[in-house]
Structures are given as C-alpha cells and as structure tokens.
Amino acid sequence: MSDFEGAAEALRVAVGASRLRVEPHGVRDVLLSFTVGDELRFAFDARPGDVASSLESVAMGRREDGRAWRLPVGPHTLIAGCSGSGKGSLFWSFAFGLAPAVRDGRVQLHGIDLKGGMEILMGRDLFTTSATSAAEAVAVLEMLVAWMQERAGQYAGRLRTHRPTADEPLHVVMIDELAALTAYCPDRDLQRRAETAINLICSQGRAPGFMVFACLQDPRKEVIPSRGLFTQMVGLRLKDLSETSMVLGEVAVLSGAHCHRITRDVPGTGYVLPEEGGHPVRVRAGYASDEAIREVASRFRTSTQIPVVVPEHGGEPSTRRPRRPRASEVRDD
C-alpha cells in the first residue's frame, strides 16, 4: 500500500482526477478512489433544520459524493481552520440545524464569542446565554458545569442516556474561538477556570446532555490542551501538513484528507473524521448570510434567555435555574 501512497499524486494527475484516496481493501488488495469533477465547487445557502428532527444529527451541507452531510449531535466537536476558511459557515449551519429544537425548548444554546460578540450577537435570539468577555465566558461555563453535575447526580442509578425534552434540554456550548479562552486570555486565573470547566464538560457532559461545539485557528496542543477530549473533528483549510495531522491524524492524511491543499475560494470546505472511525469524508457547509442569521434567529428564537452576571471578586456564579416561561410570557413569532 505504501507504494501506491507514494505514487498517489502522479496517478491522480495521470487520470485527471481532482483527488485520489488510497485505502486498504481486504487483506492484500488496495482500493483507489478517484474523484472527477467537484460536487463542492459552488456555494449554497445554509438552511434551518427539520422541525420533526430526532436530534440525532443535523444537516450541515453536502458531501463530495453529492449526498447530504449530517453531523451527529452529542459528540464534542472541534472545528479547526485558518482565518477565512469558513468556520462561521459550520458554526451557523449547526445552529440552524438545531433551531427548531431551540424554539420548542429541547435545546439551549450558549454562545461564547470573545471578539466582542461580532459573530453570535447577530443571532442572539437563538442563545439562552451570550458571553462576549472572558469573565462572562467563565461564568457561563461554570454555571453549566454545576447544572451538568446536578443532572448527573439525578440520573445516577436511574438513567444512562439523556433524551432532550423541554424540561431537560440538551445544552450546547458554542465557542467561536476556543484559543481566546485556553491560550490567549491575559487573565491566568480566568484561563485556568475556563480550561477546567471545558475539560469537565468534555469528559463528563455527553451522558447527561451537555455538548461543546468549538472553533479554533491554531490546533497545536499547547494552544488547546483538551484537544483529545473532542471526539468529532472537522478540518477546514489549514496551513500545512503538520496542522492537518494534528487535527485529523496521520492515517487520515494518508487516506486523502488534505486540509492544507484546500484553496481559499471554497470556504466552508473541509474533511470530517467520523467519531466511530473510518475514512475521512470531504464536505462543505452551507453559507449563512447576515440576513439569514437574523431571519432564523427571529423565527426560531428561544423562549429562555438568561442574563450573564459576573460574580464580584472572583466568586462562584449563580447556579439557579430559570423557570420555564408561562404560556402568556412566550414571545409570539
């Protein structure tokens, strides 16, 4: 197989294919998969999810074989890509996919955007909490850790798997730039607390219904120490081969996941590594315009919003849960 891997580029050029994937087939054979043309060449719009969705997965866009790309809901997910690689397309495609469940209360989104809220505040009506500073982010994360541990205690000996309902929703933490909390935060105490909370949610949150969906530019281990706790990875355009290997692994690179070869003119395009293993799949997420974000946020807005209160003198955040709104208080669409 190594001979074919070494000759893969020459074979691709000789056939005139846009890409070639080399993979074992049985004990002695090798399967060469040539892709001619490109199903992902042209951009398309992101759309809200199906109202009747089971929340097992959400529609994100398209695969290179023309089929719909659906991303499982539940696994902690890391999106890595250079500036301009289209991380926003994946961020909003995932939020759009969950939007109907946000409106009916089965999902609560918690947005963290340390770029002053430039990304999440455009769709603020989708988010139960919105944090735009490190202090606010830590308050939200520590509040969610307390909720997670409380729910896990209630489930102990009774349930092993969470099923989202309006009374016990799935909590999804959506982080626009993870490194702003784990590496670039000037306040070391806030950085430490953020890392601890993220690690706790990623290591303990799935069973009781808490999920992290995070984006970042720099995938190095020193920038994101908890990288190994994310079990679902998507690599967009990356700087070089080493970064691609950091995100998806050397085996994925040998199987054709070449994030470092993605061009700038196809933002939102990348490779996804399924949680259960297997070969990487080339995908593209839909594009979410500013107008689409505002429209979806207005149409599917959450009925539960919690103001983020930063405790004074570094105290612990309040863990008091908001009550479900009465029917007369729910905003009309």
Q: What are phi and psi of 209, to 5 degrees?
A: 95, 45
CA pair distance 330, 101, nearest whole angstrom: 15
In this structure, how many other beta carbons lie within 10 angstroms of the beta carbon of residue 16?
8
Secondary structure, 3-state, 259-313:
HHHCCCCCCCEEEEECCCCCCCEEEEECECCHHHHHHHHHHCCCCCCCCCCCCHH
In this structure, how many other beta carbons lie within 10 angstroms of the beta carbon of residue 325?
13
> Is position 221 annotated in a ligand binding site?
no
> Is position 84 annotated in a ligand binding site?
yes
- The residues that bridge with 20 in the sheet, in sequence order, are 34
Characterize the bridge pairing of strands 57-63 and 170-175: unpaired
> Is position 82 annotated in a ligand binding site?
yes
- The residues that bridge with 130 in the sheet, in sequence order, are 111
> Is position 87 annotated in a ligand binding site?
yes
Characterize the bridge pairing of strands 281-285 and 269-273: antiparallel
Lookup: tokens for 163: 């099923």
- Do 300 and 103 contact (CB within 8 A), yes or no? yes
> Is position 81 annotated in a ligand binding site?
yes
C-alpha dist (Å) from residue 269 to 61, 98, 138:
10, 21, 31
Q: Could you write out the DSSP letters of every residue in 74-137?
A: SS-EEEE--TTS-HHHHHHHHHHHHHHHHHTTSEEEEEE-TTTTTTGGGGGGGEEEEE-SHHHH
> Is position 133 annotated in a ligand binding site?
no
- CA geometry: angle 164, 171, 110, nearest 5 deg: 145
> Is position 85 annotated in a ligand binding site?
yes
> Is position 255 annotated in a ligand binding site?
no
Q: Which residues are annotated as a binding site?
A: 81-88
Q: Which residues are annotated as a binding site for ATP?
A: 81-88
